[in-house]
Structure 1
Amino acid sequence: MAESNAMDRAQISSLLNRAQHTINLAQQASNVLRLLNSPEAVRVGDKGTLGTDTYLIPQRNITWPDNLYVKVFLDGMNAETTLSNFVASVAVVPQLCQIINDSQGGMFRRLFNPTKVQAGDQAAFDLMVKLDEISSTTHEVSRMLEGVQAAYTRQQQGVALFPGIHGVGERYIERAQHELASALGMPQIDVEPWEGNSLVQARRVVQRYAQDPNSEYRLKNEAEKLLGSINELRVQVLLEQLPIDALRTVTDHRLRFGSLESINVTTVADVLKTHTSILTTVQGIGAQTAGRMKAAAETLKQEALSRQNTSIGNEPTQPAMGLINVLARFDQTETITPEERARRSRVIDYVEHIPPSLEPYIVINSATPDFEQFTDDLRWIEANPNLFYPQTITTPPADIWDDYLARPAHYQGLLSTLLGRDIKGADELLDATTLQKIRDLTLDKTFLTDLHLRGYQSFGARFAIIQKKTLLGDDMGLGKTVQALSVAAHLAATEKDFRTLVVVPASVIVNWTRECKRFLNLPVFIAHGDNKQDAINAWTQSNGIAICTYDGVRAMNIPAPGLVIADEAHMIKNPSTKRTQALRKLIDAAPYALLMTGTPLENKVEEFVNLVRYIQPELITRGMSKMHAEDFRERIAPAYLRRNQADVLDELPERTDSIDWIDLTTEDRSAYNEQVRQGSWMGMRRSAMLSPTPRSTSAKMQRIIELLDEAEEHGRKALIFTYFLDVLDELEKHLGERIIGRIAGDVPATKRQLLVDALSHSKPGSALIAQITAGGVGLNIQSASLCIICEPQVKPSVEQQAVARVHRMGQTATVQVHRLIGDETADERMLEILAGKSHIFDVYARLSETAEIPDAVDITESQLAARVIDEERARLGLAVSET
């Protein structure tokens, strides 16, 4: 370049300033490129979840990537290519600037260093050309970077998810919603702001409620801890009984136990509590084997803990006593409806699981039933804060454990309710409208007394009311009777001039009578016997309950009731019988009907269809009996409800006890009264089991036959106990081939075990009969899960030992224990004397929940015999002195 074309100092300065500006833009462009390529995504922190698709998120809990708005601004501008090319083209500019700077100086430098001067002049020329060359791109990038800066600054002020006065453009809002949906794993979302003031108020109310020691919130926490302690104690007992060989079942390693007995290690519990250094002192056990043994033992312990349930049990341990006290306190606060409890529980759950926020929440998908329920619940708490006020209760009495033993099902139900583990029902096949009606119905308990319904029982009762005519097929032991009584009580309270007719087999009339009088504050009429029509006539003038037999329905003139309850409804499975036809007329005339049966009729479709036809004939279609099982169940769902024990009982009780009150036949009663006249203690105790005539069958024997029929239906085998040898003879006479064998005092031990083995290989419905003093001890008979005791024993501890033959470790089935008690006989007098007259009905349930009854509670047989004989003679109008 010619000397005359060299730039002066002012031109060089201007050129360098222009170059520095370009360098700065290139640096900014590089930063933007790094920002665009950042892999950072939206992160959502703690959030509240309602249902499956609705979320409440505090704004501070969403972390946005810094490049969100920058990316939106640069969309469609080919920004990455433009910026990359610009940065590359500017790469030479700093070098040219450096050459120019090096060439600058005073006159002496230009005179004595002409080479640098020439290089500087050339660099200045090249720089000018370069800057002119990229001038238009520089201008474009400059404007682009200004927009990037504006977008970045706007994002720092907050990301907008919905329109507002902030003025953020629609595409920025849409991109933010899209990125948030991706972070939540959802294809798309609806977003709205929610102020959250009502949740703040709810939080204050709940926090105050949580400080109340008698609040359901605090009681639940106490119950969970105590139940955990109960289960830990049970597991400890189990591990103390498990031999060390059990360790081999939970490890793939070959374990060598050596002579662990030498250090008194014989059980899994011993392995857990013995230090590794002690285990390794046994010959053949090194550190590795000892470590594996300890690991296997811990595995067994954890597996056992994971399988524990909510059964309170029968041992008055410290945690069990504590739990009963908690439940007794909870029972006093049990003053709200199940619906109110559910709503209160939801509000507490909201407060616990939705993070607090001083700013409005971001609501994802508010147009859902879950969010509607949420806002409705919060409005409800504003209107009903009294349900969160401190509770005033009295201290449970010192003998609260006795009350638990008398009413274990009541306390077990309270625990299930408190823990929120009640199963509500089998509703998956019901249409949404019907299900909502059931949920909305509140049972009127005006005429109910001392009855706590489990969740599934409440559902069953409401199902029967809403559907009007239904079939309840719950498994045995799930409380079909109390569900039916709840239906009757509700309808009596809500309908005008309403009466209920209960139709049952003769063998359970006494049971139903006692249950009605125990749980209902309604008049009860027994339409059975010589005065049955008089009872019906009196019933028609009341709002009460009439109880009669299936044969009684056919024999009497019965006006149409409001509700027909038919227990053991499989007895009318044949539509051609006269009793079925008579009862069907009443069912047709009544606005409500509830048929009940524990027999699994699903396997007998024709009979099943007949029962459904009686109550909802419109459900029956041609060829229905040949439907696929799933289609059949869906078809009859409006009429039929069945739950199994495993479905609804979280505690899965290992043992279910019941007293079967037996109404003696006329011949039974005559034979029994004769024994009373003679003052025969042994005769009075066993006469109800012995047939009065060669061709007759006693009422107790008939009940045993019914129980064995049910056992056959449900795959059970039975163990039948009696004190008397001639009762064993009577059982063999009437039960025939069902009897696998007989155990009495004269049967040697080896043969007894052979009989036990024979029972394990027999078919359902089979029975082993035993004299209680012989078969009640020393045998393990886990193959039987039905235990029948023909008459009460003088010492309750004898019964406990007998029941323990089937109710022991290794039993996999729920054990059912039936005690046959003759109504108005020495059996009942014995219960009164042994347990006190205030607990006649509950005594055996109480005793059966106790693993061992100390002999201290037993009284001498002579004392008991004398008192029972005197009371029975007095009841029959016989002189006591005649003995």
Structure 2
Amino acid sequence: MAEFTRPELDALLRHADEVLRRAAGARQLIDAPRTPPTAPGAVALGFIMLPPGAVTWPSGFFAATELDGLPNSWGRIRQYLSAAAVLGPLRLEARNAAPSILGRIFAGGKIARARAAAGDLRSRLADPSFAALDADVRRYLELAGLADMLQSRGVPLHPGAHAVPDHLVSAARTAVEQAVGAPGSTFVQHDAGVQARVLERARALQQDPHSEPAMRREAERLLDALTAERADLLLRQLPVDALKTATNERLRFTGLDTIGVHTVADVLATPTGRLTQVQGIGATTARRLRAAAETLRQEAVGTHTTGIGDTPTASAMALVRLLAQFDQINTLDEIQRARRRRILGWAEKVPATGGLWDVLVGEGPEWRAYLDDIAWADVHPEVLAPARPVTVSGESWADYLTRPAHYQALLSTLLDLEVEGGDDLAADILERIRSLRLDTTHLTDLHLRGYQSFGARFTLVQEKVILGDDMGLGKTVQALAAAAHLHATGRQHTLVVCPASVLTNWERESRRFTDLPVYRAHGPERVEAVRAWESDGGICLLTYDGARTTELRAPDFVIVDEAHFIKNPATGRTRAVRALIDAASHALLLSGTPLENRVSEFATLVSFVAPELISTGMSEMAAADFRKRIAPAYLRRNQADVLDELPERLDQTDWIDLTPADEKHYASAVQEGNFMAMRRAAMTTPGAVPAKLERIREIVEEAEEAGRRVLIFTYFLDVLDRLEAELGRRVVGRLSGRVSAATRQTLIDDLGSAPAGSVLLAQITAGGTGLNIQAASVVILVEPQVKPSIEAQAVARAHRMGQTSTVVVHRLIGDDTVDERMLEMLAGKTQLFDAYARPSESAQVDDAVDVTEGQLAEAIIKAERERLGFDA
């Protein structure tokens, strides 16, 4: 048994202590929890932004990473701990292996055991395999210590002068990618100084009480209130018996009328104790009555719409005033608005702090777009500047009644409900369309809906296209917007080719919505109008016959309305229009006919604007395949596609240019001073087809193509006779005062089962009240009525609860006739009839403000006789 000197034993014990200390350090490495980093401060925007401090790193992350990178490091450490586990007891026993003289005297057998333990300890520590293991662990602990020191200074995600090895940076990136769920990202270092400045301004704008965001919040509140008002109105119109229907006749009650309860609204307003006073109604039935009424109220409130309507409730009028204010501060175009909307959204998520941020970027364009938007907003601080307070006149409701589409468009823009359509287009085409800034310099009194702006830009980018939007979506204004843009960029000769029946409509729309010169090339001065257009530029309006017979310069932009007129390539007018399309740099063919109905015809039209898209046998393709193939040249949006709010109705004024025969017939009625004859003259021209009748035929044909049925109102029986004779088999019946109630309902039922394009004729004083005619979604008002309430009630026959389609209302107005005079006077343009422009403060029904027919007739006859020279 070896003896140990004191120095030898002390050296052995120190060696053992060092090993045990390393074992303790190794134990800490093994026992440390292996939790991944988290990123509670990460901001996801299509890319991941990490502000300083956004990532929480677990202690020992770098140390564990270093050891993970060494072969079998954790196994060696466990082996080391196992070997070191026996060294502690041996060390404790071996400490007495070199006693003093007195110790030898009194120790007895303990010395022998201590010397044996010391020998064993020395043998274990000197074992070559343990020495190698100890050396490895010593290196592991040094690496872990250095790694902990580096981590204490921060965990960088980019190589640099921070002395953190690249493999640790790479490991940190991988851990962050896993933490935020974005594997394979590119890491970017971002100086957030400009961003902080922009987002701080955006936050201030969000809180500005006069800003667009504040207006948006108020508009949403008012729409909720408007919905509640409409629900209340509906419940006040529903009889109590509706509760039986709502509960499948399980509720049985009578006698509620004895306590003044007549409607569902009355049930909600009456306490349960009051209901139980009716004989036969106990507490349980009363509770069920109120519960059923509340269910109906909830359903009514849930029927939310963004249609403003035509009832001047407090909420509706407040909403219109708000939109009039928004109209004054709404100066951004589509691209600017989209940028600001995105920035305001980011301001709600991204901290407005500076410093160096880390960003994880994917393969998409979102990060570059974000930087571009931030840089743009920094260069254009006015876009995020505080809003200026604005005031509006007290006539905003009257203005809304004359321009409902304008206000409805403002509401959609304010609420960010705009939808473009064009889903079949390739990504590169969509990008070019969305990046085109529409020049609106020459547009007036026109707020384009999002889908309308998209349609105009689609035309400009693709140059020659077909626009096939559903009826009532504003194909005309999209065409005019494209023409105004081209005019502003130097292409100043726009030619509109259309049927004679809509020539006046095009003239009025062109003058109303643009400030471009408009030339009506029709009639005896056609050639002079064309030459003036060729000389000065602007918009030239020409009929199909005019296009065939008039010598024209090559236009810059050709608009072809009712493009089905050129579906036959063999006709002279088709060849003439085709030549104009070929000569122009841009062409737009307008058609409301659904492609599904006329695939072969659309193949012909597409060949005029994009012949490269046509191949043999295309006309036999399924409609869906055909549409996808021709998407670069054909755009169609249905109402349900682009009008998220599905407005309750779309009103359209059709200006009718009377034929010479119409004018002669009308003049005779004026000369006679016969007001009623004047009103119906444009539909009763003898021996000729009146222009109004021709327009009615066109509307009915368009309705048939769109899968709709038509309801036609007129005041006059002889006009009904003429319509019934001319429309023939399309007419399912006529409603007048002579038709019994039972027969009326039969005719309405017949319309519901009739094919698209079918017509129900109605005398407006008989068919305009007390009927539900939801089967019709196109309404034609042949002539304006003396009382606004009569027209409103007539339209309400189709535009009411249960109508699943947007109702399109056509008002036929003869140009320079009694119709136009009535519009002027009934719209409040003269003091005599100003009562029509504003609802009475003392009565909320239209009839309370109607003037007498005698006053109206006298004023209009006088004006028309003077205009036609009968009272010189």
TM-score normalised by structure 1 residue count? 0.87
CA distance in 1, matches of 2:267, 2:116: 91
* Mapping for residues 543-622 of structure 1, pairs under 5 Å: 543-622=537-616
Counterpart for residue 174 of structure 2: 178
CA contact (8 A) 1:712 1:765 kept: yes
**Greater displacement, 88-97 / 711-720:** 88-97
Counterpart for residue 82 of structure 1: 76
**Greater displacement, 16-25 / 377-386:** 16-25
* Mapping for residues 717-756 of structure 1, pairs under 5 Å: 717-756=709-748
Counterpart for residue 795 of structure 1: 787
Deviation string 1:752-775 (CA, Å, 9 cap, x unpaired) is 112211211111111222222221
2:45 maps to 1:58:
no
2:339 maps to 1:346:
no
Deviation at 1:793, TM superposition (A): 1.6
CA distance in 2, matches of 1:250, 1:13: 98
- Where 1:764 maps in the other structure, the secondary structure is coil
Number of residues paired by the alignment? 860
Counterpart for residue 66 of structure 2: 73
- Where 1:827 maps in the other structure, the secondary structure is helix
CA contact (8 A) 1:259 1:283 kept: no
Deviation string 1:747-803 (CA, Å, 9 cap, x unpaired) is 221221122112111111112222222211111111111122222222111121121
Deviation at 1:41, TM superposition (A): 1.8
Counterpart for residue 20 of structure 2: 23
Gaps of 5+ in 1: none
Deviation at 1:300, TM superposition (A): 8.4
Alpha-carbon spacing, 1:812–1:127, altered in 2? closer, same or farther (3 Å): same
CA contact (8 A) 1:271 1:297 kept: no
CA contact (8 A) 2:62 2:148 kept: yes
Counterpart for residue 537 of structure 1: 531
Q: 2:650 aligns with which of 631, 656, 678?
A: 656
* Mapping for residues 770-849 of structure 1, pairs under 5 Å: 770-837=762-829
Deviation string 1:519-540 (CA, Å, 9 cap, x unpaired) is 1222222222333333323333
Deviation at 1:638, TM superposition (A): 2.8
- Where 2:761 maps in the other structure, the secondary structure is strand
Deviation at 1:111, TM superposition (A): 7.3
Deviation at 1:480, TM superposition (A): 1.0
* Mapping for residues 258-657 of structure 1, pairs under 5 Å: 285=284, 301=298, 308-365=304-361, 369-392=365-388, 394-426=390-422, 428-430=424-426, 432=428, 434-495=429-490, 498-657=492-651
Gaps of 5+ in 2: none
CA contact (8 A) 1:406 1:843 kept: no
Alpha-carbon spacing, 1:300–1:621, altered in 2? closer, same or farther (3 Å): farther
Deviation string 1:480-508 (CA, Å, 9 cap, x unpaired) is 11111122222223226x32221111211
2:667 maps to 1:690:
no
**Greater displacement, 767-776 / 553-562:** 553-562
Q: 2:849 aligns with which of 857, 864, 870?
A: 857
- Where 2:808 maps in the other structure, the secondary structure is strand
Deviation string 1:289-348 (CA, Å, 9 cap, x unpaired) is 979969x967984x7767634333333344433333332222222334333333333333
2:139 maps to 1:147:
no
Deviation at 1:198, TM superposition (A): 1.3
CA distance in 2, matches of 1:420, 1:839: 39
Deviation at 1:729, TM superposition (A): 1.9
CA contact (8 A) 2:665 2:685 kept: no
- Where 1:191 maps in the other structure, the secondary structure is strand
CA distance in 1, matches of 2:821, 2:244: 54
CA distance in 1, matches of 2:290, 2:265: 15
CA distance in 2, matches of 1:358, 1:859: 67
**Greater displacement, 635-644 / 398-407:** 635-644
Deviation string 1:554-577 (CA, Å, 9 cap, x unpaired) is 233333333221111111111111
CA contact (8 A) 1:235 1:305 kept: yes
- Where 2:536 maps in the other structure, the secondary structure is coil
- Where 1:638 maps in the other structure, the secondary structure is helix
Deviation at 1:630, TM superposition (A): 4.8
Alpha-carbon spacing, 1:800–1:364, altered in 2? closer, same or farther (3 Å): same
Letter in 1 for 2:448: L
Deviation at 1:369, TM superposition (A): 3.0
- Where 2:535 maps in the other structure, the secondary structure is coil
CA contact (8 A) 2:519 2:529 kept: yes
Counterpart for residue 34 of structure 1: 31
CA distance in 2, matches of 1:845, 1:11: 115
CA contact (8 A) 1:672 1:688 kept: yes
Letter in 1 for 2:461: I
CA distance in 2, matches of 1:458, 1:699: 32
CA contact (8 A) 1:199 1:351 kept: no
Alpha-carbon spacing, 1:839–1:400, altered in 2? closer, same or farther (3 Å): farther
Counterpart for residue 39 of structure 2: 44
- Where 2:785 maps in the other structure, the secondary structure is coil
CA contact (8 A) 1:422 1:456 kept: yes
Cα RMSD over matched residues? 4.0
CA distance in 1, matches of 2:478, 2:520: 20
- Where 2:651 maps in the other structure, the secondary structure is strand
CA contact (8 A) 2:193 2:355 kept: no
Q: 2:185 aligns with which of 156, 178, 189?
A: 189
Deviation string 1:23-44 (CA, Å, 9 cap, x unpaired) is 3333322221122xx3522322
CA distance in 2, matches of 1:268, 1:737: 43
**Greater displacement, 715-724 / 625-634:** 625-634
Deviation string 1:223-269 (CA, Å, 9 cap, x unpaired) is 33433443454455567778999999999xx9965769979999988
Deviation at 1:804, TM superposition (A): 1.2
Deviation at 1:95, TM superposition (A): 4.2
- Where 2:589 maps in the other structure, the secondary structure is strand
- Where 2:78 maps in the other structure, the secondary structure is helix
TM-score normalised by structure 2 residue count? 0.88
- Where 1:819 maps in the other structure, the secondary structure is strand
CA contact (8 A) 2:709 2:778 kept: yes
Deviation at 1:188, TM superposition (A): 1.3
CA distance in 1, matches of 2:357, 2:103: 71
2:666 maps to 1:672:
yes
CA distance in 2, matches of 1:111, 1:235: 109
